[in-house]
Amino acid sequence: MEKHYGHIIERIIRRNGYSISELARLTNVNRRSIYNWFNQKNLKPEIIFRIGCALKHDFSEEFPELFTEDEFQKVISPEKTSTDETLTLSEGSSNYWKDKYIKILEEYNRLLVNQVKQDPKGNK
């Protein structure tokens, strides 16, 4: 019997007590998309990986034909990866870019204040 990817994922999500709303928020899709995924017999590995990362669940156990254990461990347990790999993984999050923007903006404002202190009249 062939695996029904959507049903396997739904069973894991419900067994572990995750809410559909929370999963939708973590994967940046609407709830309807989650339910559509549950009904699909074959899901793209990218979608399964995205769900696994959001839930911190290693789907290599359920889908050994698609993933190795190492693929999920890099995301689930980032302390075991190198600093460069951790940075690459976290750069995809919107909080990373927001924090980076705020840091650059604060540095820019600090430089402007220092320049005004050095030349209050704005002469070059």
pLDDT at residue 35 in the model = 95
Backbone angles phi, psi at 15, to 5 degrees: -65, -35
pLDDT at residue 47 in the model = 93
- What whole-number distance in Å separates Cα of residue 119 and Cα of residue 111? 12
Local mean pLDDT, 10-residue blocks, the chain (124 residues): 90 91 91 95 92 88 86 67 50 72 86 83 66
H-only helix segments in 1-124: 5-15, 20-27, 31-39, 45-55, 69-76, 83-90, 94-118
pLDDT at residue 102 in the model = 84
Residue matched to tokens 């929370």: 22
The DSSP output letter for 19 is -
The DSSP output letter for 64 is T
